[in-house]
Amino acid sequence: MVSIVIVNPESDKEIRSITCMKTNSSVQLLGSHRFSKFSNWTILVRTFAFLQHIIRSFCGYNECKGWHYCTKSRTFEAYQESEKLIIKTVQQEAYKEEIDYLKQGKALPCTSSFLCLGVFLDSDDILRVGGRLNRSNILPQAEINPIVIPGKHHIATLLTRHFHDLAQHQGRHITAGTIRNAGYWITGSKRLISSIIYNCVKCRKMRGKFAYQKMANLPPDLPEPGPPFTYVGRDTFGPWEVVTRKTRGGAANAKRWAILFTCMVSRGIHIEVVEEMSLSSFINAFKRFVAIRGVWERLIGVTRRVLDSMLLEIPPGSLTHEILTTFLAEASAIVNSRPLVPVSTDPEDPLPLSPSLILTHKPDNTVDYIPTDGKDLLRSQWRRVQHLADTFWKRWRTQYLQTLQNYRKWKQEKRNLVIGDVILLKDNSVTRNSWPLGRVVRVFPALMDEYAKQKFV
């Protein structure tokens, strides 16, 4: 019999202490959290179909062996099975309680959000919408009982992007109809679809709004009365085809443009015709304007409407330079006669305030006292003109200027363009799909004091 002597481990040199570490792993081997690494629904389905094929190859369920790459997983049946696996994984995580109730044959609790949908489990244990269309003989089965997709899950975003592309980047209603026709019911789809469309680059390129900044304050010269056309803005519009001379073969045509000058105080306009879009033509037109006289984008639209109405009265091909000049003069008179403020119903204020009233100071009223003496006549005429001028400017300040106090558009401050921004350059000569893309390489910030806040295009 062998006796064993127990020796103190701390004093025995042959015994060594070993420290053992135990680690508990909580990482899920398979779960929908991995789906967030994909940005395309087709690629996600194709990847899962390939992985399922590899698993069957290792298990000996098909003719392929081991890890390899082949195209046998790219079949309709493989993609359909992959979609079912993805959807079942997501539904088990998002609607586990409802699925457990349905598997046990129990009714859903009263607090469930699926009571109005009448959900049920199909033969593949996929949660579908029941609804009231089960007896329809027209709709396909996918539309009668669509698959429930949680709207806050990443695959809802992938599905929305996928069918938005299939709908050729149409609006929210067409995208939602495409998703429903494909057999999916995404909870909270309105907000999700609107978010996808808002962030879609192609949709912004086709239907995005133009950049703008908050409406600027009035320039310091506008609130102060002064001579007409002291401060002006100008713009050019046209062209029109005019007949320049008669030839044996018909008539020789040429183009004409028009430069519109707008008085910043009275909002009156002055139009000059130019024969070409060149610096010399503009300088000549500007000299003619200065010789005769001494905001504008909106007035071009008004002038165009008046001019187009006049051009309908002449036969095609008979517009000459002289007729165009006359029509533009008549259009100027019509635009200048427009009221600046709503027409008053006060019998003591029968004349509406208009640009022509401020420009000419010629209202249609009479003077009770007409002196016969020469000195009194000159003195009374000067006083009359001075009184009318004071009256007009007082009305301009109290009636028209006060209407410019409110922000009619561009009411919010927006983010300014910065270097590196990708922008779409508007070109009226081509369709919107052909507008070129550009990158901002330099910015020119406007003065942001109390008198100058300039909008950008």
Q: Mind listing the pLDDT tens digit for each residue in 375-389?
A: 444 455 445 545 555
C-beta of residue 435 within 8 angstroms of C-beta of residue 229: no
pTM of the model: 0.56
Domain spans of the chain?
A: 32-207, 210-414
Compute the average pLDDT of residues 402-430.
79
Element (H or E) spanning 329, and its range? helix 321-336
Task: With beta carbons less than 8 A apart as the criterion, state whether 341 and 358 touch.
Answer: no
Percent share of the chain, pLDDT over 70: 67
Q: Which of 144-158, 170-184, 248-262, 284-298 has the lowest mean pLDDT?
A: 284-298
Q: Which of 171, 172, 170, 169 is nearest to 191 (CA)?
A: 172
How many angstroms separate the CA atoms of 138 and 151, rounded?
Answer: 28
C-alpha to C-alpha distance for 79 and 48, rounded to whole angstroms: 8
Residue 40 DSSP SS3: coil
> Residue 153: pLDDT above 90?
yes
Judged against a pLDDT cut of 50, whether residue 372 lies above it is answered with: no
| Token duo for residue 441 | 């390489």
Nearest-angstrom CA–CA distance, 384 and 363? 12
Which residues, at least 6 apart from 227, have a Cβ–Cβ distance to it below 8 Å? 294
Q: Is the pLDDT of residue 368 over 50?
A: no
Query: In this structure, which topology does domain 210-414 adopt according to CATH?
Result: Nucleotidyltransferase; domain 5 (3.30.420)
Q: What is residue 195's predicted lDDT score, i.e. its pLDDT?
A: 93
pLDDT band at 40 (very low <50, low <70, confident <90, very high): very high
Q: What is the mean pLDDT of residues 381-400?
A: 55
CA–CA distances in Å: residue 263 to residues 217, 286, 287, 295, 340: 17, 14, 16, 9, 13
Mean pLDDT of 14-43: 73
Instruction: Provide mean pLDDT across the span 111-140.
Output: 86
